[in-house]
Amino acid sequence: MTTLPPTVEQASAPASPLLRRRWRWKQPSVLPGFGLSLGLTLFWLSAIVLIPLGGMVLKSATLGWDAFFHAISSPRVLAALRLSIGGSLIAALINAVFGAIIAWVLVRYRFPGRRIADALVDIPFALPTAVAGISLTTLFAENGWLGAPLAKLGIQVAYTPLGVIVAMIFVGFPFVVRTVQPVLADLDPEVEEAALCLRASRWQTVRRVLLPSLFPALVTGAALAFARAVGEYGSVIFIAGNLPMVSEIAPLMIVIKLEEFSYAEATAIGTVMLGFAFLMLLALNGLQRWSRRHEEAS
């Protein structure tokens, strides 16, 4: 029985999904040993992220539902959660606006001291949080350089929720700037010039040309700023004043519970913060994907 050679149609027919899957599995990788690399990746993520967070959730589960809700529903804990989460949202929105403006200035303009200004953006990354908290408290105290003039106007920053938000803005704004900067650098200025040549106003150029391109980066930067601010402790604790029901933050409540040897209640508060942060990041990522699809469709 003779075997006929494959026809042109058979030779050019697409491979089955199973064959394509096997072919992709055998594709050469830059890293030697795909199995070893994948195993190391899963081990590291589990050891650094999944196991600690899972242990915290399991520890909080030892309370039972009644004790869990009692631990997180006390007025003092609710006030701390409200300040941490609400203040982080406000700080993230403010950082999204002013961080985009700072990134725009650093990318599109050339002026003396530009490199120094660009380096100053990274100071909150490198500065110890305790040093940042002491600096902000000294600056915004009633006898501080900015606190004294503001006190004459009836505005008190230190030892108030406003001071907490100021500290959150301080630690979060570099995330927005460093996320938006590369996107702005890759944008072609000729696109903006073309829009202006087509008699589009500056606001129309910003709204229809710049914002659709910058929106995913803005969302990412705001999400990172929110995630950093909601769990910030060192820089906030000094300027907050830690007044019960006024300027206490959720991380401080966790520390208080640990000092009282109430480890399960501390993990319950941490679980609530973890769940809310996860939901916020999930919602922001969904918004980012929707923005990209809308941009591709248009």
**Residue 155 has what pLDDT?**
92
| pLDDT value for 162 | 95
> How much is the pLDDT for 8?
47
Could you report the per-residue pLDDT of 78-97, keeping only the tens digit for each?
A: 999 999 999 999 999 999 99
Can you give the pLDDT at residue 243? 87
Nearest-angstrom CA–CA distance, 290 and 284 = 10
Burial 30-47 (b: 16+ CB within 10 A, else e): eeeeeeeeeeeeeeeeee
The tokens describing 297, both together, are: 């469709």
For residue 210, which of 103, 85, 84 has the smallest C-alpha distance?
Answer: 103
Residue 222 token pair: 């705001």
Domain boundaries in the chain?
33-62, 64-297
Cβ 172 vs Cβ 91: under 8 Å: yes
Distances (CA, A) of 213 to 46, 147, 288, 291: 35, 39, 11, 9
> CA–CA distance from 109 to each of 104, 106, 185, 196 (Å)?
8, 6, 11, 19
Eight-class DSSP state of 27: S
Sequence-distant (6+) residues with CB within 8 A of 141 are 147, 158
Give the integer Cα–Cα distance in Å for 91 and 164: 9
pLDDT score for 19: 46
Q: pLDDT below 70 — which residues of the chain?
A: 1-33, 294-295, 297-298
pLDDT at 23: 44
Which is it for the CA torsion 268, 269, 270, 275, positive or negative?
positive
Specify the pLDDT at position 30. Answer: 59
- Note the CATH number of domain 64-297: 1.10.3720.10
**pLDDT computed for residue 5 by the predictor:** 52
| Whole-number Cα distances in Å, 15 to 7, 10, 19, 105, 213 | 15, 10, 6, 52, 37
pLDDT at 27: 56
Q: What is the pLDDT of residue 77?
A: 93
One-letter amino acid of 283:
A
Residue 181 to residue 184: CA distance in whole angstroms? 5
| Predicted local distance difference test score (pLDDT) of residue 298 | 62
